[in-house]
């Protein structure tokens, strides 16, 4: 599956601000055909297909998303290995999912901001991107805290017995 490349500003672009409306309504020949992007999925299967395409896009293009998936896999595997309770496993799973959900939202926000400002600098674009990244950072710190509280005691007990 191929993914659309980031937008390149046109040669005739000026330094004047461009409205979101004009960006959305101006046809650009180098962009892929996105006519179907505005339509509602015809059935539930297509909705899941599109959602999975978003997850796959994040996994393929976002290094941090891959890191979060790897750490979540390790945390869940360690929980299974240590035999933690079902409730504790659910807390670990939900915490890991929260981090990945926020990383997906961060990717979406960054894409929309990049579409809007293209390759120009705008202070509000920086704030939006920084705040989205900050949300991921806070959730990742919370996930480490939760995993530490749940996984470290049984891990320490297991290591001391070996």
Provide the CATH number for the domain around residue 133: 1.10.287.3610
Give the domain extent around 109: 64-162
pLDDT of residue 21: 44
Within-domain flag for 36: no
- Look at the chain and report how many structural domains it folds into: 1
Helix or strand run (H / E) with residue 78: helix 63-82
pLDDT at 69: 97
pLDDT of 38 reads 65
Residue 110 annotated as catalytic: no
Domain-embedded: residue 152: yes
Q: Is residue 1 assigned to a domain?
A: no
At residue 40, the pLDDT reads 76
pLDDT at res. 18? 52
* 4 found inside a domain: no
pLDDT of 8: 44
Distance CA 71, CA 86 (A): 19
Closest CA to 68 of 155, 147, 126, 3: 147
pLDDT at site 14: 41
Residue 31 lies inside a defined structural domain of this protein: no
Catalytic residue among 88, 103, 110, 123: 103
Output the CA torsion sign for 94, 98, 100, 104.
positive
| Residue 138, in any domain of the structure | yes
CB 82 within 8 A of CB 147: no
In a domain, 95, yes or no: yes
Residue entry with tokens 């705008």: 122
Q: Is residue 157 part of a domain?
A: yes
In tens digits, what is the pLDDT along the chain, a chain of 162 residues? 455 454 444 433 444 445 544 544 454 444 555 565 667 778 888 989 999 999 999 999 999 999 999 999 999 999 999 999 999 999 999 999 999 999 999 999 999 999 999 989 999 999 999 999 999 999 999 999 999 999 999 999 999 986
According to the model, what pLDDT value does residue 127 have?
96
């Amino acid at each position: 599956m191929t993914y659309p490349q980031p937008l390149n500003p046109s040669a005739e672009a000026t330094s004047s601000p461009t409205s979101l409306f004009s960006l959305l309504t101006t046809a650009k020949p180098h962009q892929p055909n996105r006519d179907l992007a505005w339509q509602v999925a015809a059935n539930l299967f297509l909705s899941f297909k599109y959602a999975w395409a978003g997850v796959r896009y994040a996994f393929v293009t976002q290094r941090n998303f891959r890191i979060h998936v790897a750490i979540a896999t390790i945390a869940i595997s360690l929980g299974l290995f240590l035999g933690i309770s079902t409730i504790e496993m659910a807390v670990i799973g939900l915490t890991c999912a929260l981090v990945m959900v926020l990383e997906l939202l961060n990717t979406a926000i960054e894409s929309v901001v990049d579409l809007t400002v293209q390759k120009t600098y705008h202070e509000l674009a920086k704030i939006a991107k920084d705040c989205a990244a900050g949300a991921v950072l806070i959730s990742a710190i919370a996930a480490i805290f939760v995993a530490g509280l749940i996984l470290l005691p049984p891990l320490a007990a297991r290591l001391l017995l070996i």
